[in-house]
Amino acid sequence: MQPLLLKDASHMVDSALAHGRALGCHPLTVAVLDAGGHLLALKREDDSGILRPRIAQAKAWGALGMGAGSRGLAARAADAPAFFQSLTTISDGRIAPVPGGVLIRDSEGHVIGAVGISGDHPDRDEACAVHAIESAGHVADAG
């Protein structure tokens, strides 16, 4: 398993932002975390709200934390609200059960990191994350 490199993480951030501009998204914040949940690269567009860096990271971190994209976590949260409420505290606020946090898998299926995006509708945030991961030659797992 090859760890995610800054070169690839930077490419994903820029690719996600370019896709957001092409789709006419609201100002986005894009975070790429490594497999350990630690920030590799982040960019916040002009006029993207001041909480967006934390939300973007929480979408990605929560995906890594539970081993499933944040769309899947949103579905589980609807079924088990009390458990997901406890998870927000268990994780110190590093989980966000809403689409836009997508696992990065290598060609063998290993999780090597995650992309989290916040700023537009969750479905569009997620579309930008998937686009970025695939443009870097990896497999996107949105949950």
Per CB under 8 A, residues contacting its own copies are 1-3, 5-6, 9-10, 26-27, 34-55, 58, 62, 64-68, 74, 77-78, 80-98, 110-111
Question: How many helical (H) and strand (E) elements, i.e. helices and strands, does the chain have?
Answer: 5, 5
Q: Which is nearer to its own copies, 87 or 140 (CB)?
A: 87
Q: Nearest distance from residue 128's CB to its own copies, in Å?
A: 15
CB of 130 to its own copies, least distance (A): 19
Closest approach, Cβ 91 to its own copies, in A, equals 6
What's the sign of the alpha-carbon dihedral 124, 60, 63, 86? negative
